[in-house]
Amino acid sequence: QVQLVESGGGLVQPGGSLRLSCAASGSIFSIYAMGWYRQAPGKQRELAAAITSGGSTNYADSVKGRFTISRDNTKNTVYLQMNNLKPEDTAVYYCNAYRNSFGTSYDYWGQGTQVTVSS
């Protein structure tokens, strides 16, 4: 089992920045791929950014060049630095931990943190 707790959300003006954090506990953090997903009102949850256990990253086209995902395995924490925020980035952001072991998937979610971009 992995427990995930997000923090760092809030209200920010367009063009501003926020850094989200996701603290993990309960298992070996370093073996999990980590992701930040987001869900806007009335829309499906979508992947914003992901980082593998080896440190490779992947971003949605809509956030490339503005968001940076990183992880600190010594602190069991994954981060999402969000710059040049736009109103369309408004959503609940969820942290996800995932791994697959011998055909069995392990998939865990945090409770979410609200990000609102508005003037």
- Give pLDDT tens digits for 23-75: 999 878 888 999 999 999 999 999 999 999 999 999 999 999 999 999 999 99
Mean pLDDT taken over the chain? 95
What Rg, from alpha-carbon coordinates, does the chain have? 14
Residues of the chain with pLDDT > 90: what percent? 88
Residue 70 has a pLDDT of 97
Rounded CA-CA distance 89/29 in Å is 27
**How crowded is residue 94: how many other Cβ atoms within 10 Å of its Cβ?**
21
Residues of the chain with pLDDT > 70: what percent? 100
SS3 108: strand
Contact 110, 38 (CB under 8 A): no
**Beta bridge pairs of residue 20:** 80
